[in-house]
Structure 1
């Protein structure tokens, strides 16, 4: 088995275990989210700092992006706390579903990309392929039979379309962080997780897909 795939699977198992504990125990969810949010923001800020260092032409633009990201990040964090503290079970299920779509999208992209290779998707991340992107969509569909009509009250076609959109957002989030790392000329956002990089490296798709998925699933229901 590919070494990178093993790392992704191991990380996914840890994330799923933590997610399960967070789902059943509110104090674990809030505590974990606070710690993760702080670490991810530190890594993101360090990334932006490396990009604007010594480049006065990009300085203003990336500082502006950084401020917007801070506001967005804070808003999402407050919104998630509202979901956790509320009695809206549907919102918690939407959060769980969105996170799982992002995780399976990540694994599907890696498995299909390494197995079938094919045309490169973009210069931003040379390891990503078109077939890998297709694999992200395909593997995320595995969740539909599990959640359909039991936990999420959508018709089948709507749930398929929403799953595709959430997976796409996850992939775009992944590419966006990859673009920032490319401009910062670093491989990982930090060395917090030996062999894995930083939390932002592993949660890049999730931090975009989770809030977007919850908003989409809730607003269209």
Structure 2
């Protein structure tokens, strides 16, 4: 077993233990999610700073805009985290469903893409394929029978469309962060997770899916 694999296994075990603790204790969940949200913002801004590193007016404007947008998004995430245990009774299930759709989209893209390969999806991320993108949608749809009517009381067609859009945004978010990393000429956003890179590397699609999922569920 090489050192890189050992790092990945160790990090995965630590994260699994942390997720278990978050599920059992609400205060651990709130503190952990806020901490991770702040780390993601720091990693994102560090990435942007590497791309727009000149002191020209253009780069200063772009740094400011990215910083402003990311700070607004961070505030939105913190608001959602504190709202999970509040009077918004459906928010927790909507967040859970959105995150699970994003996770299954990533897994579907990886598994189906590796099996069927085929035409490349884009030059931004050479490893991504059209078959992988289709796999992302198929895997995300597998959640619908588990949540339909029992946990989410929406029309089946509406829930299917919401799932489709969440998966689509997840894939776009993944590609967007890949594009930024390519522009910044870095492989990972940080090395905070041994063998995995940074938190942003692991949740790039999820952070874009969350606001879209919550908005779609509340507007439908």
Question: TM range, normalised to the smaller chain?
Answer: 0.7 to 0.9
Q: TM-score when scaled to structure 2? A: 0.87
Deviations 1:176-196 (A, max 9, x none): 111110100001101111221
Q: Flag structure 2 segments of 5+ consecutive residues without an equivalent.
A: none
Q: Which residue of 1 aligns with 2:153?
A: 153
Q: Which residue of 1 aligns with 2:64?
A: 64
Secondary structure class of the residue paired with 2:127: coil
Aligned residues: 214
Q: How does 1:197-216 map to 2 (within 5 A)?
A: 197-216=197-216
Is the Cα–Cα contact under 8 Å of residues 113 and 128 in structure 2 kept in the other structure? yes
Deviations 1:28-73 (A, max 9, x none): 2211111101111111111011111247375135313323323332
Secondary structure class of the residue paired with 1:204: helix
Q: Which residue of 2 aligns with 1:183?
A: 183
Deviates more, 1:181-190 or 1:29-38: 29-38
Q: Which residue of 1 aligns with 2:75?
A: 75
Q: Flag structure 1 segments of 5+ consecutive residues without an equivalent.
A: none
For the aligned residues, what is the CA RMSD? Answer: 2.5
Q: TM-score when scaled to structure 1? A: 0.87
- Distance in 2, matches of 1:115 and 1:218, equals 37
- Distance in 1, matches of 2:94 and 2:202, equals 21
Is the Cα–Cα contact under 8 Å of residues 41 and 74 in structure 2 kept in the other structure? no
Q: Which residue of 1 aligns with 2:47?
A: 47
